[in-house]
Chains A and B, each alone.
Chain A
Amino acid sequence: MAHAAVHDTHDTHDHKPQGFLHRWLFTTNHKDIGTLYLVFALIMFFTGGSMAMIIRAELFEPGMQLVQPEFFNQMTTVHALVMIFGAVMPAFVGLGNWMIPLQIGAPDMALPRMNNWSFWILPFAFLLLLSTLFMPGAGPQGGWTLYPPLSLQGSNSIAFVILAIHMMGISSIMGAINIIATILNLRAPGLDLLKMPIFTWSWLITAFLLIAVMPVLAGAVTMLLTDKYFGTSFFNAAGGGDPVMFQHIFWFFGHPEVYIMILPAFGIVSEIIQTFSRKPLFGYQAMVYALASIAFLSFIVWAHHMFTVGMPLGGEIYFMYATMLIAIPTGVKVFNWVTTMWEGSLTFETPMLFAIAFVILFTIGGFSGLMLAIVPADFQYHDTYFVVAHFHYVLVTGAIFAIMAATYYWLPKWSGNMYSERWGKIHFWMSVISVNVLFFPQHFLGLAGMPRRIPDYNIAFADFNMISSIGGFWFGASQLLFVGVIVHAVYFSKNRATSKVWEAAKGLEWTVPSPAPHHTFSTPPVIDDSMLAHGDVSH
């Protein structure tokens, strides 16, 4: 049996299954599951986004205007949890599900049923999380980082939040195991590791990070749970524990987590820039090694989130320098993106616009990160809007812009139709301008000392807050265009995409028809090195 070429002949395999529920609930198809992830992520993006609108509305003017402080705190906490675990991570998993098998010539993911489960845990987990907002005593208010003792002094809903996080963790770990097994085991013959498309590479490394740190988060929140309900003293100094210990364990997860949210974005941007520059990626191998070193370094810098909580001096200095080291591989990546564009024949379709904006704006976020990494400076910046500006540059104009770039880039492959380039560009320009109106002033607010996570502020901060809020509503409204463009492309566009879609697109995913048929590569494709997007790297 070992070498038998067996196909299961069950009807759900060879044809699109009948029946809506049957198809989407029981599916083992990587494309269907990818679509589920992406749609879920979009819904969560708007859920978390409406919370952000409430936050910006309250901060529009100084003074308490619209909501109670308790509700405001729930908004900041749940907004972050929803965006991180509900929008950004599932969107990347969805893109990975769709594109990794297509990029490596595999018929599907390695463990298709587990793939289904990874997704179908998520809606339940978020139902659980969001339901806490309606519970007596209210939802979590202590921030997404769940620092004790504060997080344990709130309402009883913390138990629901923690168990929801456990479910998200189970989902992420299974999803990551699947991606690693797919990449290591299902590559078409001849597609060596160092010939793999760069997006696939970025996911291989991200999946490793996920498996390594999601269990640590599980451990941390389990200790919170037992401290609250079972009388343990992990984070209670009277019992010999230490609340700061939670922060160490949390950030051992947390810093790799922020790279989980950016490495796939690096992969996407590398793919797009080479296509629209009509040049192979500059320094493909360096890009791979940079991804790997960033991943490695991300494990040894976590306490840069804790400079002000009290650490021995040696610790402060070590974590400062280790953090700055990350700038080196990150710099390599930025350099190589720019060099890929250098002397290329550039065209500026929507995906490329988002990718270029990514390179510039992510770099701004990287620079503010470097400022934060300087211990004495961080004593000023910590817990101010400067940090908020930093991580929104890397996450919104970084991770989310990359997700949007990827959507525009691969949507024709998924749907078989071209989106409206005109409206895509309008969406881009609206987003890129408004996002800077939204987040750039927050740097100034932070430098001037405005603390984060507060519903009211000194009138000295009024002007910049108003500008930021206007940018916020503008950015939020612009995202309706995004939905419009997608819906139009999928259901109404008459403009059929070719299988290659983009003039200079290279790689296996562009050899299958658009829309990609339900089943692709049921036998392994033959790899032709000259077809690889990043060029022939064997010499």
Chain B
Amino acid sequence: MAQSHDAYYVPHGSHWPIVGSIGLFSTAIGAANWMNGSTSLMAAPLFYLGLVIIAFMMFGWFGTVIRESVAGNYNKQVDVSFRMGMMWFIFSEIMFFGAFFGALFYARMFSVPWIGGEGHGGLTNYFLWQDFTPSWPTNGPGNIGGTFETIPAWHLPLVNTLLLLSSGVTITLAHHALRAGYRRALLVWLGATVILGASFLYFQATEYLEAYQHLNLTLGSGIYGSTFFMLTGFHGAHVTLGTIMLIVMWFRCAKGHFTRNDHFGFEAVAWYWHFVDVVWLGLFVFVYVL
């Protein structure tokens, strides 16, 4: 709470936010033009330029914060504010995934059976989709995207589950090492986490290739393909981001930025990593197994 200080800390102004806004703006314009089929400089190039600006902003902004932190400018209260910020950010991410899980459950429990004539969908089925028998997986009565096969849960996805679960263990071991002040063990365990994360991504990429090249399972494979790729795709993007953050943490640990009692940057990344881990468990159960 607010008792642990006798003066407050307020940081000085910064130009990074406005740089970030310009980055977002460019990314958005570029992406929209690109999606609409434009090949001009205002499409893909602007999109990538925007991403570069955002990356530049992140380096600069986090760099400033790290310098201030290492210089000992922050007090306990600032630390708590950062922690709350990260926790609520992760909560917002959970709600974002919730929307896509919601779509998956809705499709499986309601829309597909209804198109098949169950419940109050009788007339829809009778007038529009008489030949359709509901099942899961499905690409709907229109056979959108053509016949496809699914990824069997107990092969690569199982391996990936084990990889991510073990990475949850290794990052905890790294945290223990950090708390105990063992730099070498910290770097080893953190390095192991990075490798596990990267292998996960490698297998995920293999799985996508397999899906596209041999199973005819694509983003366009009806509702199954849509939910499958959007859920696993957004999750994969988060693992990628998490892995990058882990790598940054590895270098920060190597440079000795963190002390045994004061290492919020590390903890924030660890929380984030556990969050991607838990989302994966949900994916494994509801997307692959069931």
Contact = CB atoms under 8 A, between A and B. Distances in A.
Interface of A: 1-8, 10-13, 17, 22, 25-28, 106-108, 110-114, 116-117, 120-121, 123-124, 127-128, 156, 159-160, 163-164, 166-167, 170, 173, 176-178, 180-182, 184-189, 191, 211-216, 218-220, 222-223, 225-226, 229-234, 236-242, 244-245, 248-249, 252, 310-313, 519, 521-524
Given A5-B7, A26-B18, A185-B84, A240 B93 contact: no
Contact of A159 (B36, B111, B128, B229): B36
Given A26-B13, A219-B99, A245-B107, 7 more contacts: A1-B74, A3-B5, A167-B25, A167-B28, A186-B2, A219-B97, A234-B223
Interface in B23-59: 24-25, 28-29, 31-32, 35-36
Contact of B14 (A2, A28, A186, A232): A28
Interface in B64-83: 68, 72-77, 79-82
Nearest to A30: B10
Interface of B: 1-18, 20-22, 24-25, 28-29, 31-32, 35-36, 61, 68, 72-77, 79-82, 84-85, 88-89, 91-93, 95-100, 102-103, 106-107, 110-112, 114-115, 119-120, 124, 128-129, 138-142, 144-145, 218-220, 222-227, 229-230, 262
Nearest to B100: A219
A124 to B, nearest CB: 4
Contact of A107 (B8, B13, B20, B84): B8
A106 B8 contact: yes
B72 A121 contact: no
Contacts of A124: 21-22, 24-25
B147 to A, nearest CB: 13
28 contacts: A5-B6, A5-B7, A6-B7, A6-B75, A8-B10, A8-B11, A10-B13, A13-B11, A107-B8, A108-B10, A120-B21, A159-B36, A180-B88, A181-B84, A188-B2, A189-B2, A191-B2, A211-B95, A219-B102, A226-B219, A231-B145, A231-B220, A239-B222, A239-B226, A245-B111, A248-B102, A313-B120, A523-B8
A114 B128 CA distance: 51
Contact of B75 (A4, A187, A249): A4
Contact of A7 (B7, B28, B102): B7
A238 B91 contact: no
Contact of A1 (B35, B75, B85): B75
A159 B31 contact: yes
A242 B3 contact: no
A104 B188 CA distance: 45
Most buried by A among B11, B15, B103, B106: B103
Nearest to A253: B99
Contacts of B102: 219, 248-249, 252
A2 B75 contact: yes
A240 B140 contact: yes
Nearest to B142: A238
A312 B120 contact: yes
Contacts of B114: 242
A200 to B, nearest CB: 14
User: Interface majority SS on A: helix, strand, loop or mixed?
Assistant: helix
A3 B75 contact: yes
Nearest to B77: A185
Most buried by A among B17, B91, B142, B227: B17
Contacts of B91: 211-212
A524 B1 CA distance: 12
B230 A12 contact: no
A-B pairs with the 7 shortest C-beta distances? Answer: A219-B99, A238-B142, A240-B140, A240-B223, A117-B17, A231-B220, A10-B12
Contact of A237 (B88, B111, B218, B226): B111
Given A108-B10, A112-B11, A219-B99, A239 B35 contact: no
B223 A223 contact: no
A244 B107 CA distance: 11
A233 B103 contact: no
A1 B129 CA distance: 69
Contacts of A5: 5-7, 75
A218 B99 contact: yes
Contacts of B140: 233, 236-241
B49 to A, nearest CB: 15
A236 B144 CA distance: 10
Contacts of B81: 110-111, 181-182, 185-186
Nearest to B22: A124
Contact of B28 (A17, A160, A173, A313): A160
B8 A108 contact: yes
B219 to A, nearest CB: 6
A215 B96 CA distance: 5
Contacts of A111: 81-82, 85
B162 to A, nearest CB: 29
A524 B144 contact: no
B42 to A, nearest CB: 12
B28 A166 contact: yes
Nearest to A178: B85
B99 A249 contact: yes
Given A107-B10, A238-B140, A312-B119, A114 B96 contact: no
A120 B17 contact: yes
